[in-house]
């Protein structure tokens, strides 16, 4: 085994350990020593590769975003070739998505930029599709937050359903339920219209 190969392997172990711990604990509660122990390396080696915990977080962000984009691109290509294709959300995919969600909660600038990019794309889809909605931007932001929340709270939802967390089966059940709610609103249009009117009046009174 060459030194270069060993170096790359250590870097990948550090990155993977950091992704898992940042997801589980958050960046603030994860130390360099915690990551070093989980990766089986020294704290000095982490600093050699990444400079600091912030540098490691930036490297993790870049890796996760790149991997999620690859997954999305591959899923779209396979879906276009086979209308019956369904992507498989394995434990690794779920971890990466939860990492992104945790980053948004922790105030990661990179995660915030990713969130805005998703909102932009969703709003563009709404407008280009000619969907009739009073506030496409707000709808896009709300939908992005709701779908992201399903991944962030995946473990809790899975346990509530009696499913094993971080499994494809749990994910499919959760996504199926969300899809049903999106296509079968629990409130009728008249009720939602009255709620919007009430909120609008409250906002107007507050500003006066």
Would 44 be classed as within a structural domain? no
Element (H, E) at 46: helix 43-50
Would 184 be classed as within a structural domain? no
- What is the rounded distance in angstroms from the CA atom of residue 67 to the CA atom of residue 49? 20
Number of structural domains, the chain? 1
Would 78 be classed as within a structural domain? yes
pLDDT one digit per residue (tens) for the chain, 208 residues: 444 444 558 899 999 999 999 998 888 899 999 999 999 999 999 999 999 999 999 999 989 988 888 887 877 677 666 666 556 667 788 888 888 888 887 878 888 888 898 899 889 988 988 888 888 999 999 988 888 888 778 888 999 999 998 787 888 898 889 888 888 877 777 777 777 777 777 766 776 6
Would 3 be classed as within a structural domain? no
Would 28 be classed as within a structural domain? no
Would 52 be classed as within a structural domain? no
Would 5 be classed as within a structural domain? no
Would 17 be classed as within a structural domain? no
Query: What residues make up the domain containing 79?
Result: 59-152
Please identify which residue in the block is written with the tokens 């209308």: 83
User: Nearest CA to 99 among 18, 173, 1?
Assistant: 18
């Amino acid at each position: 085994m060459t030194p270069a190969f060993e170096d790359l392997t250590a870097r990948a172990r550090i990155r993977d350990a950091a992704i898992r711990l940042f997801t589980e604990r958050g960046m603030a509660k994860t130390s360099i020593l915690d990551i070093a122990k989980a990766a089986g390396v020294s704290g000095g080696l982490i600093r050699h590769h990444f400079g600091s915990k912030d540098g490691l977080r930036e490297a993790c962000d870049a890796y996760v975003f790149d991997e999620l984009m690859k997954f999305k691109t591959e899923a779209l290509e396979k879906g276009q070739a086979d209308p019956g294709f369904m992507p498989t959300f394995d434990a690794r995919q779920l971890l990466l998505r939860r990492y992104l969600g945790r980053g948004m909660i922790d105030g990661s600038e990179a995660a915030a930029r990713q969130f805005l990019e998703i909102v932009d794309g969703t709003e563009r889809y709404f407008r280009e599709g000619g969907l009739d909605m009073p506030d496409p931007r707000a709808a896009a932001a709300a939908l992005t937050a709701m779908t992201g929340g399903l991944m962030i709270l995946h473990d809790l939802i899975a346990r509530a359903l009696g499913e094993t967390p971080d499994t494809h089966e749990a994910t499919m059940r959760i996504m199926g339920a969300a899809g049903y709610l999106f296509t079968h609103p629990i409130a009728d249009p008249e009720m939602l219209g009255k709620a919007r009117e009430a909120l609008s009046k409250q906002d107007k009174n507050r500003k006066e």
